[in-house]
Amino acid sequence: MKRVLEGSHAVAEAVRLAKVQVISAYPITPQTHIVEILSEYCTKGMMKAKFLRVESEHSCMAALIGAQSTGVRTFTATSGQGLALMHELLHWAAGARLPIVMAEVNRALAPGWNIWVDQTDSLAQRDTGWIQMYCEDGQEVLDSTLQAFRLAEVVNLPVMIVLDAFYLSHTYEPVEVPSQEEVDQFLPPFEPKFRLDTAHPCGFGPLVAPGDYMEMRYHIAMAMEEALDRFDEIEAAFAAQFNRRYGPVEAIDCEDADIVFITTGTVTSTCRLVLQDLRAKGEKVGILKLKLLRPFPTEQIREKLRSVKKVAVVDRNFSFGASGIFAQEVRAALCNMPVHPTVFGFVAGIGGRDVTPELLEMIYWQTKTSDVPQKESVWMGLREVKNVD
């Protein structure tokens, strides 16, 4: 049934329908609405989950690592500073091969104290071994959360569902909410490959000497690689049942495009409007939406951009001393192609600033009229900034 749902509640509905057994959370804006409604579901008996209130995000992830080790389905949500505080245990969750699912609402890091959208918080967790999925609207959030449990459990890696603060987390829109029967069919109960069990004692997390550590890491690398194929299978099964499919990347009008926007999150949605306008003016332009950051869909990106001349990467994040982070990833994916598009990097919408259709059009025209990028990253919509001596 289609219901007008807030983005946060689209996450929560998926978590309820996935019959998650343990939820642990520490409140932080702007993810608050997710765990708020989940705690309500638990109190009202709409979910049979154990809801653990903890004293910090670090404890939150520690609690989930413990819970997940016993072979149950687990979930949490966080944002910004909260995710940063979890950092150490994000490595642990992935290294211990625990299929924890987390919703992460992108929030700018402090100082300056800012509760608005900025992707640098989740991108800073790139190398922790978590699968990361960036979502565009409420429907994709709900669908991806359901798929996340299945993907996590099949490859034994944790999954982060990433959504923009406010533009997605606090926005109500129509979302198709599947029935419990439909979800049960798509997502059967979790059957752990290993778990803490007093009847079958075994050791977890011992000292691993150089003789074995490297192989353990290689296993994670293999699991990540496998995740791309599994994601494809899971999406196919989901599409067969629900008739919706997103892909690790989505190419929109890229076949004959000279210039392609590369976007993530809600910027993709606004960019679809810009694309319609530019196409109506006869511009050969397309969009490549990136959904997966890890595993990075390198082959798909190369394939979709094979005959494109220039790409304009829109980054709502920044790596100081380098450039926008998605732009770096795209450059790395393209550089070994014999012929590849020139990569123009743009930074926009940092700390919750609007990324308007006008701004995206400016990005397009700047890319079209330049032969080579002026800089690795051009900051868009910036007010005059003076150097401080």
Task: Look up residue 13 and give its two tokens.
Answer: 């509905």
Instruction: State the Rg of the chain over Cα.
Output: 21
DSSP 44-96: TTSS--EEEE-SSHHHHHHHHHHHHHTT--EEEEEEHHHHHHHHHHHHHHHHT
CB-nearer residue toward other proteins: 33 or 294: 33
DSSP 264-277: -HHHHHHHHHHHHH
In this chain, which of 32, 59, 81, 171 binds other proteins, going by CB under 8 A?
171
Binding status of residue 266 toward other proteins by CB under 8 A: yes
In this chain, which of 53, 71, 173, 361 binds other proteins, going by CB under 8 A?
173
Looking at residues 96 to 115 of the shown chain, list those that interact with other proteins (rule: CB under 8 A): 115
- Which span sits near other proteins by CB under 8 A: 15-23, 37-45, 102-110, 354-362? 354-362
Binding status of residue 170 toward other proteins by CB under 8 A: yes
CB 286, min distance to other proteins, A = 16
* 199 vs 178: CA distance, rounded Å: 38
Binding status of residue 270 toward other proteins by CB under 8 A: yes
In this chain, which of 356, 362, 366, 368 binds other proteins, going by CB under 8 A?
356
- Which span sits near other proteins by CB under 8 A: 168-176, 199-207, 225-233, 254-262? 168-176
In this chain, which of 178, 297, 341, 352 binds other proteins, going by CB under 8 A?
352
CB-nearer residue toward other proteins: 61 or 168: 168
CB 155, min distance to other proteins, A = 31
CB-nearer residue toward other proteins: 149 or 326: 326
In this chain, which of 22, 146, 267, 325 binds other proteins, going by CB under 8 A?
267
Binding status of residue 172 toward other proteins by CB under 8 A: yes
- Which span sits near other proteins by CB under 8 A: 15-23, 33-41, 98-106, 355-363? 355-363
Binding status of residue 41 toward other proteins by CB under 8 A: no
Binding status of residue 116 toward other proteins by CB under 8 A: yes
CB-nearer residue toward other proteins: 27 or 192: 27
Binding status of residue 302 toward other proteins by CB under 8 A: no
Alpha-helical (H) ranges within the chain are: 7-17, 32-43, 57-69, 80-95, 120-123, 138-155, 180-186, 210-242, 265-280, 298-304, 325-334, 357-369
CB 144, min distance to other proteins, A = 17
Binding status of residue 165 toward other proteins by CB under 8 A: yes
Binding status of residue 59 toward other proteins by CB under 8 A: no
* 123 vs 18: CA distance, rounded Å: 26
Element (H, E) at 249: strand 249-252
- Decide if 144 contacts 9 (C-beta within 8 A): no
Binding status of residue 357 toward other proteins by CB under 8 A: yes
- List the beta bridge partners of residue 378: 346
* 181 vs 17: CA distance, rounded Å: 9
* 90 vs 83: CA distance, rounded Å: 9
Q: Is 336 exposed, middle or buried (0-12, 13-18, 19+ CB in 10 A)?
A: exposed
- Decide if 9 contacts 31 (C-beta within 8 A): no
- Decide if 103 contacts 86 (C-beta within 8 A): no
Binding status of residue 254 toward other proteins by CB under 8 A: no
- Which span sits near other proteins by CB under 8 A: 118-126, 143-151, 164-172, 340-348? 164-172
Residues in contact with other proteins by CB under 8 A are 2, 4, 115-116, 164-168, 170-174, 266-267, 269-270, 272-273, 352, 354-357
